[in-house]
Structures are given as C-alpha cells and as structure tokens.
C-alpha cells in the first residue's frame, strides 16, 4: 500500500472509530465504506474493514449486514489469492460483493494507477511458476 493510500485509509478508519464512539453508526459505516475502497486490494486492511463493518452491523442489529459481512470476510481470502477485487465497491451488504462501482471523484486520482488485472496476472504467474516447480 503506497503512503498516500495508507494515509487516507488510516484517516477513514480513525473517522469510523470516532463516529462509533459517539454512537453515530451511519457516519461510522460511511467512513468504513471509504476505507474499504482504499484498502480492498490489501489483505489486512481489507479484513480489518470488513471486521469493523461486521461490528457496526451487530450494533445496528442489522442481520442482513451481519450475514453479508461474514460472507465477505470469508471471500477476502480467495479474492486476495487471485488478486481480483471489484474496484470501487464500498463493501456493504447493500451492494453485491462482486459488483465494481465507479470510484468517488476524490479517490479517482489516488487510485488511478491501481489496475486490478495487473495484480491478477502477477498472482497467476507466481502460482503457475510454483506449480511448475512442484511438478518438476
């Protein structure tokens, strides 16, 4: 994660925590959606964001969100292994976990040079090399 993305991710996570502390769960979740967009290509930030979304879902007694976040927490593993994530997806259960979403205007310059398919190709190449080494 480059420094600019990491900085914005940390700001969003901090904003979510601050909003949650004053029981402003709607704004906490909005901050987590922004953090999700920023961190979804990186395993630990992606997991951390969905974990926090699950916590907010539990506090809201929102069964749909809770189930959606449990599914998304599990899905982060194959998503990371294969390098594919739906670009711009805010991570909430109100939007399909597989649906790419246009990036918010303020995040477009920050994430412009983050091609998902490059990550997919790099990972598939690494896995192919590992398989060839194991089979050799």
What is the reported pLDDT for 87?
87
> pLDDT for 58-115, tens place per residue?
999 999 999 999 999 999 988 888 777 888 999 999 999 889 899 999 999 988 876 6
Where residue 22 falls among pLDDT bands split at 50, 70, 90?
A: very high
Q: What percent of the chain has pLDDT over 70?
A: 97
Residue-level pLDDT at 83:
75
Cβ neighbours of 44 (radius 10 Å) = 11
Q: What pLDDT was estimated at residue 114? A: 67
As a whole number of angstroms, the distance between CA 57 and CA 63 comes to 7
The 3-state secondary structure of the chain reads CCHHHHHHHHHHHHHHHHHHHCCCHHHHHHHHHHHHHHHCCCHHHHHHHHHHHHHHHHHHCCHHHHHHHHHHHHHHHHHHHHCCCCCCCCCCCCCCCCCCCCCCCCCHHHHCCCCHHHHHHHHHHHHHHHHHHHHC
Flag whether pLDDT at 124 surpasses 90: no
Task: Write down the domain spans for the chain.
Answer: 3-135
The reported pTM is 0.85
Q: Are 59 and 22 in contact (CB under 8 A)?
A: no
pLDDT score at 115 = 67
Average confidence (pLDDT) over 30-44: 95
């Amino acid at each position: 994660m480059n420094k600019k993305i990491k900085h914005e991710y940390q700001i969003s996570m901090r904003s979510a925590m601050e909003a949650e502390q004053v029981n402003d769960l709607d704004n906490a979740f909005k901050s987590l959606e922004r953090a999700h967009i920023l961190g979804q290509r990186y395993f630990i930030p992606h997991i951390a964001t969905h974990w926090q979304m699950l916590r907010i879902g539990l506090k809201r007694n929102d069964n749909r969100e809770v189930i959606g976040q449990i599914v998304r927490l599990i899905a982060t593993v194959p998503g990371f292994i294969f390098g594919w994530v739906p670009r711009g997806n805010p991570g909430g259960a109100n939007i399909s976990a597989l649906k790419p979403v246009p990036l918010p205007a303020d995040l477009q310059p920050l994430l412009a040079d983050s091609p998902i398919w490059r990550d997919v190709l790099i990972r598939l190449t690494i896995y192919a090399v590992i398989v060839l080494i194991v089979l050799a």
